[in-house]
Chain A
Amino acid sequence: MRTLSFLLQKEFKQIFRDPAILRLIFIMPIIQLLLLPWAADYEIKNIDVAIVDLDRSVYSQRLIDKIQYSSYFKLQVFELSYKDAMAYIEDETVDLILEIPKDFERDLTREDASTVFIAVNAINGTMGNLGAAYAGQIIRRLNQNIRMEWFQMPRFSPIKQISVTERHWFNPTMNYQVFMVPGILAILLTMVGGFLTSLNIVKEKEIGTIEQINVTPIKKHHFILGKLIPFWVLGLFMLTIGLIISFIAYGIIPAGSILMLYGFSALYLLAVMGLGLFISTITETQQQALLVSFFFMLIAILLSGLYTPIDSMPRWAQWIAMGNPVTYMVEVMRMLVLKGSASYHVYFHMGVVFIFALILNSLAVWNYRKSS
């Protein structure tokens, strides 16, 4: 116990004297939490549109007006031909072309039907699809209005129609920042836990102080605890800072149990630190440790469901995601902070992360040999 307290004193002193670590733990999360969530915005708005109006009628103008006044779209260009408009798609000045053919109005009133053409840049498939869908919505609504001006619509709908209403829970303002913040918090926790722990231990290996420790009566588990505890404390501290910033900058208040949140985070940190420890036992230099950690970290971050949904991944990738502790942290963060999910939903995650922590830390301790 006593040995541990001396070890911890030394560790904390060293951590606070290391400028790189300080910057990582304090400045980096703050900056990233403040800036990055604003980047994450898939909302359909301000799509640049090119209009090719070959009809120039009252109705075509109405359609153009509707598009113009919608927040989804921004009129940029008026062209005389589809081909000319395409040039703007190619240099990405516009992302959507609406072509209203000649005799649009006449066909509509006399032939009962006419057609408009939408071409949308679908390299980003999801956005393209949504953009076209919203344009479609606007057109259909205008269509209905025109019909009602011409016909007395009967009380009963003459055709069979299924209407669909939608409600959005947990995030009624459809705010993207709110969605990203917990995820970014999870990433930051991971970086402190996994990265820094492994770096720290390997640094001792490199300098040689580890050998000095090996000769002393310090036991294996003391040494490891001495390395884990400070970063564990710092990790939880960072979580607190993160939550405070989330509140101040984004107005996010955890809707679920905060106790559960800290409890899970504490367990999660143990798991990532176990990973960091393990990496430190198999690498000799800080460089190697960094490289290996980073290799896994990028995978862990991108395959965690933070940016893209796990459901959309191929089966084998989903398995990888299920074996990725970050996935669980991100989900728990979102569930507890955003959805206010009842705590029992998180039991599964706790169980998984507990097993992770157990396996990883055991592996690390087993691997860490003081005497060769």
Chain B
Amino acid sequence: MLFGMPIVWIILFGFALTTEVKESKIAVLDHSKDEMTQQLLQQIEASKYFMIDRLIDSPSEIESALEGRRIKMVMILPKDFQYQLNHQNTTQIELITDATDPNLANTVVNYANQIIRDFQERNYPQQELPMTINIESRMLYNPQLVGAYMFVPGVIALILMLICTMMTSVALVREKELGTMEVILVSPLKKIMFIVSKAIPYLFLSLIIVAMILSLSYFVLDVPIKGSLIFLFLESALFIFTCLSLGLLISSVTNSQQVAMLISLMALMLPTIMLSGFMFPIENMPRLLQVISNVVPARWFFTIIKSIMIKGMGIADLLKETAILIGFTIVLMAISIGKFKERLA
């Protein structure tokens, strides 16, 4: 179960999660229905961004089209499209979007604009205005604009965080419940040794999970690992340690296994998804949330893993993030040990 879960998750999410626009369903209101509009519509249909879901016949249908669950944009082609272009040199296409998802709306409009420009180029090539500034753009690191490059590292961080923290916290609380914890704590064994000895098997398990997830990402999801594999594992081990200390802390504040689980999963899940930076850009968040996100360990690990995998960066570039994770681990451990000492006092 413990191994199965991450595998299913990484495959599902790796393939399914992306903010790219693909096959977005649109409706078209074509007032002209002439040769040109047909051509344009063909090009739209042919693009991977859009799928023409249906043709509507009158403006009154626009509202119900957009209110439904499928149509994300309505494209309105005016009367006499071809005629206007040929004789007046200009015509106007109107786009109406369902902007409940503003990001999608913007992206969809952007792609539509691209297609329309291409269409224009193709039909009236080599029109040159004087004094043209040409633009050459390069998409760095991810020329195909693949969503997985962003989401897979994010999902990896999320999965590790949840599973490792939960595993440890529950196991430790179980010991508490069974009473074995007491036995160990009163023994002359140093607390640190105790904690470390508990941590090692989980570290090992987690590293196996990491290996599984990474192989799946690389071989099945086609996400590159440009940087050093060894470095990647070392950083993962560090993050696992951070999660283990977090699990340790959780186990020290509750005596019930289910509460430990509840906290590890429920309390951590949404903040990790939303504040670690892979789902939503941190720089867009209000100051308060940016500050909070600094306290989410997954945020730092996400940067690290993304940089190693996609950018191929090395230890020199990731000093800050690594130091922060080390810091977290130490602080969490210290607090937990403090709490354990309390229990015995």
A and B touch in their complex, CB below 8 angstroms:
yes
Interface residue ranges, A against B (CB under 8 Å): 20, 24, 28, 32, 35-36, 38-46, 48, 89-92, 108-109, 112-130, 132-133, 135-136, 139-140, 142-143, 146-147, 150-151, 156-172, 174-176, 178-179, 187, 191, 195, 199, 203, 286-287, 290-291, 294-295, 298-299, 301-303, 307-309, 311-314, 317, 320-321, 331, 334-335, 338-342, 345, 348-349
- The answer to whether B134 touches A115 (Cβ under 8 A) is yes
Nearest residue (CB) in A for B153 is A123
A125 contacts B120, C-beta separation under 8 Å: no
- The reply to whether A287 and B261 contact each other, CB–CB distance below 8 Å, is yes
Docked CA distance A349–B280 (Å): 28
By the criterion CB–CB under 8 Å, are A345 and B275 in contact?
no
B131 contacts A by Cβ under 8 Å:
yes
Contact in complex: B97, A120 (CB < 8 Å): no
Min C-beta distance of A340 to chain B, whole Å: 8
**Cβ A41 vs Cβ B281 within 8 A:** yes
Does chain A have a CB within 8 A of B219? no
Asked if residues B145 and A122 are in contact (CB atoms below 8 Å), the reply is yes
B187 at the binding interface (Cβ < 8 Å): no
> In the complex the two chains form, what is the Cα distance from A91 to B258 in whole Å?
41
Contact of A165 among B94, B128, B271 (CB under 8 A): B94
- List of A residues within 8 angstroms of B132 by Cβ: 112-113, 143
> Which one of B107-115, B189-197, B205-213, B244-252 is at the interface?
B107-115
Residue with the greatest number of chain B CB neighbours at <10 A, chosen from A139, A287, A301: A287
Cβ-defined contact, B22 with A311, below 8 A: yes
Which residue of B is nearest A19, CB measured?
A: B259
Q: Given the complex, which residues of B lie within 8 Å of A303, measured CB to CB?
A: 12-13, 16-17
Given known contacts A171-B102, A312-B21, is B127 in contact with A115 (CB within 8 Å)? no
A132 touches B139 (CB 8 A): yes
Known contacts A129-B139, A320-B12, A45 near B145 by CB under 8 Å: no
B274-306 with Cβ < 8 A to chain A: 274-275, 279-281, 283-286, 288-289, 292-293, 303, 306
A314 nearest CB neighbor, chain B only: B15
Interface-located stretch among B178-186, B234-242, B309-317, B329-337: B309-317
Question: From residue A196, how far is it (CB to closest CB) to chain B in Å?
Answer: 10
The CA-CA distance from A303 to B91 in the complex, in Å, is: 41
State A106–B269 Cα separation when bound (angstroms). Answer: 56
- In the A-B complex, the 3 residue pairs with the closest CB atoms: A125-B145, A168-B99, A42-B103
> Contact mask B14-46 → A, CB, 8 Å, 1/0?
011111111111000000000000000000000
Whose C-beta in chain A lies nearest to the C-beta of B94? A165
Knowing A125-B147, A169-B98, A290-B258, the reply to whether A39 touches B113 (Cβ < 8 A) is no
The reply to whether B69 and A161 contact each other, CB–CB distance below 8 Å, is no
Is the beta-carbon distance between A117 and B90 smaller than 8 angstroms? Answer: no
Chain A residues near B104 (CB, 8 Å)? 309
Identity of the chain B residue whose Cβ is nearest the Cβ of A349 in the assembled complex: B69
Q: B261 touching A46 by the CB < 8 A rule? A: no
The reply to whether B138 and A117 form a contact with Cβ atoms under 8 Å apart is yes
Would A159 and B131 count as touching, CB distance under 8 A?
no
List of A residues within 8 angstroms of B275 by Cβ: 39
Please report the C-alpha to C-alpha distance between residue A331 and residue B70 in the assembled complex, in whole angstroms.
10
Instruction: Tell me which residues across on chain B come within 8 A of A291, comparing CB atoms.
Output: 1, 5, 261
B60 lies within 8 A of chain A by Cβ: no
Given A46-B284, A143-B131, A161-B120; 12 other pairs, CB 8 A cutoff: A20-B258, A20-B259, A108-B133, A115-B136, A118-B137, A120-B138, A146-B131, A163-B93, A164-B116, A302-B12, A308-B147, A339-B100
Of the A-B pairs whose beta carbons lie under 8 Å apart in the complex, a sample of 21, sorted by A's number, is A35-B292, A40-B279, A41-B284, A89-B140, A90-B311, A90-B317, A108-B131, A122-B142, A127-B281, A139-B133, A140-B133, A143-B132, A150-B130, A162-B90, A164-B93, A171-B100, A176-B102, A290-B261, A303-B13, A335-B69, A348-B69
Chain A's nearest CB lies how many Å from the CB of B230? 21
List, in ascending order, chain B residues with CB within 8 A of A109's CB: 131
Chain A contacts of B188 at CB under 8 A? none
Within 8 Å by CB of B20, from A24, A126, A133, A345, lies A126
Q: A20-B262, A40-B274, A311-B22 are in contact. Are A169 and B97 (CB under 8 A)?
A: yes
Say yes or no: B139 contacts A120, CB within 8 Å.
yes
> In the complex, how many angstroms separate the beta carbon of B241 from the nearest chain A beta carbon?
23
On whether A124 and B270 interact (CB within 8 A), knowing A302-B17, A314-B15, the answer reads no
The answer to whether B146 and A125 have CB atoms under 8 Å apart is yes
Within 8 A of A (CB), among B160-191: 162, 170
B interface, size bucket = 35 or more
Greatest chain B CB density within 10 A among A168, A299, A348 is at: A168
Contact partner, B257, options A40, A89, A286, Cβ 8 Å: A286
Taking A108-B131, A116-B136 as contacts, is the C-beta distance between A341 and B113 under 8 angstroms?
Answer: no
Known: A41-B285, A115-B134, A128-B142. A331 touches B69 (CB 8 A): yes
B285 near A302 with CB under 8 A, answer: no
**Those of B68-93 within 8 Å (CB) of chain A:** 68-69, 72, 85-86, 88-93
Q: How far is the CA of A43 from the CA of B286 in the complex (A)?
A: 13
Given contacts A124-B281, A125-B150, A312-B20, is CB(A119)–CB(B137) below 8 Å? Answer: yes
Q: Does B265 make an interface contact (CB < 8 A)?
A: yes
A142 to B132, CA, bound (A): 10
Across-interface contacts of A161 in B (CB, < 8 A): 89-90, 120
> Is the Cβ of A122 less than 8 Å from the Cβ of B107?
no
B344 within 8 A of A: no
What does the 1/0 interface line of B112-128 toward A look like (CB < 8 Å)? Answer: 11001001100110011
Q: Which residues of B contact A287 (CB under 8 A)?
A: 170, 257-258, 261
Interface residue from A163, A187, A286, A321 paired with B92 (Cβ < 8 Å): A163
CB-based contact A317/B313 at 8 Å: no
A115–B133 Cα gap in the complex (Å)?
A: 6
| Interface residue B9 (Cβ < 8 Å from any Cβ of A) | yes
Q: A39-B275, A143-B131 are in contact. Are A313 and B15 (CB under 8 A)?
A: yes
- Asked if A317 contacts B99 (CB within 8 A), the reply is no
Instruction: Specify which chain B residues have a CB less than 8 angstroms from the CB of A195 in the assembled complex.
Output: 266
Q: Is the CB of B137 within 8 A of A136?
A: yes
Shortest C-beta distance, A324 to chain B (Å), equals 11
Please tell me which one of the listed residues B9, B128, B285 contacts residue A298 in the complex, with CB atoms under 8 A apart: B9
Q: Which of A44, A169, A203 contacts B99 (CB under 8 A)?
A: A169
The distance from the CB of B209 to the nearest CB of chain A, in whole angstroms, is 14
CA distance A246 to B283 in the complex (A): 24
Contacts of B15 in A (CB 8 A): 313-314, 317
- Whether the Cβ atoms of A166 and B95 lie closer than 8 Å is yes
Q: How far is the CA of A118 from the CA of B137 in the complex (A)?
A: 5
